[in-house]
Amino acid sequence: MLILLSPAKSLDFESTLPKVAATQPRLLEESERLVEVMRTKSVADLAALAGISDELAALNAERWAAFQTPFTRRNARPAVLAFAGDVFQGLDVRHRFGTRDHTEAQKTVRILSGLYGVLRPLDLMQAYRLEMGTRLATSRGSSLYEWWGSTITDLLNEDLAASPGARVVVNLASTEYASAVRPAELDAPMVSPRFEDTDPRGRRSVVSFFAKRARGELAGWLVRNRVRTASALTRFDGAGYRYDKAASTAEVPVFVRAFADR
């Protein structure tokens, strides 16, 4: 089993790191080539590419300029402790993971990335902002999807062959990032859980903030409980969500939460 997550825009490179092992990103040479492309961009270019302020674009220009290898504990940190967005708050590895949980996550969790392609939780990374949907012209095309091509899927297939449990991919990534995976070339079915919240009138919808936290909660639950099959997903009841059999399909299991359970 593999569990796919999106990265986060919010980063934490300041808090004290717990003592965990660290590994190197496996597609770092590709990342370095992308960094060279990004270093050719002006602050105005970066602002336009990402749709961000000049101030934030200037920060990212500084990050591209400062990017250096090799990655060490001095200039980088493990991805699962660097990303600080809603999904990773739901995952909450600092408070809910022990050493064995980190080992399990390293086998099963994969974070898709515009810059790094595929990251394992303990892979070191440096601060960056490069979303997968960025329309970045390179020698391989006009987007990061064309840059990565089948590379991400190929690496996931290698990991599937070595991962514990049934061959299944639990897709907890956003559409933007999951689109970097080629399902037709993947050596396993992809299951994409959906989280819905009810409003006071009983109407159901996906609320982005809550859904992101729930994806992190589910990923952590899968890791801590050593879940190995897609069928076991139906037992998940974190953050007040419950499996809705009637609304679900094999490819899209639906979890719903009543307004009062928030």
* Per-residue model confidence as pLDDT tens digits over 23-32: 999 999 999 9
Give the span between the Cα atoms of 3 and 169, in whole angstroms: 6
Give the span between the Cα atoms of 76 and 66, in whole angstroms: 11
| Contacting residues for 50 by C-beta, under 8 A, at least 6 apart | 56, 57, 60, 129, 130, 131, 134
Q: Can you state the percent helix, strand and coil of the chain, rounding each to 5?
A: 40, 15, 45
In the predicted model, is pLDDT for residue 260 greater than 70? Answer: no
Q: Is the peptide bond before 70 cis (omega within 30 degrees of 0)?
A: yes
CB 243 within 8 A of CB 258: no
The pair of structure tokens assigned to 211 is 């859904």
User: What value, to the nearest 5°, has the Cα angle with vertex 192 and ends 114 and 165?
Assistant: 95
User: What value, to the nearest 5°, has the Cα angle with vertex 101 and ends 99 and 103?
Assistant: 75
Mean pLDDT (whole number) for 75-84 = 97
Q: What is the pLDDT of residue 164?
A: 86
> Which residue range is the domain that position 29 belongs to?
2-261
| C-alpha distance from residue 172 to each of 164, 185, 193, 203 (Å) | 18, 19, 7, 23
Handedness of CA 162, 166, 171, 177 (dihedral sign): positive
In the predicted model, is pLDDT for residue 245 greater than 90? Answer: yes
Average pLDDT over all residues of the chain: 96
pTM > 0.85: yes or no: yes
CB 252 within 8 A of CB 196: no
Q: Using DSSP, state whether 254 is helix, strand or coil.
A: strand
| C-alpha distance from residue 3 to each of 111, 200, 223 (Å) | 8, 32, 9
* Per-residue model confidence as pLDDT tens digits over 196-222: 999 988 899 999 999 999 999 999 999
DSSP string, 42-93: -HHHHHHHHT--HHHHHHHHHHHHH--SS--TTT-EEHHHHB-SHHHHHH-H
In the predicted model, is pLDDT for residue 166 greater than 70? Answer: yes
Mean pLDDT (whole number) for 120-146 = 97
In the predicted model, is pLDDT for residue 144 greater than 90? Answer: yes
How many distinct structural domains can be found in the chain?
1
Percent of the chain with pLDDT over 70: 99
Which of 50-54, 130-134, 164-168, 252-256 is least confident?
164-168
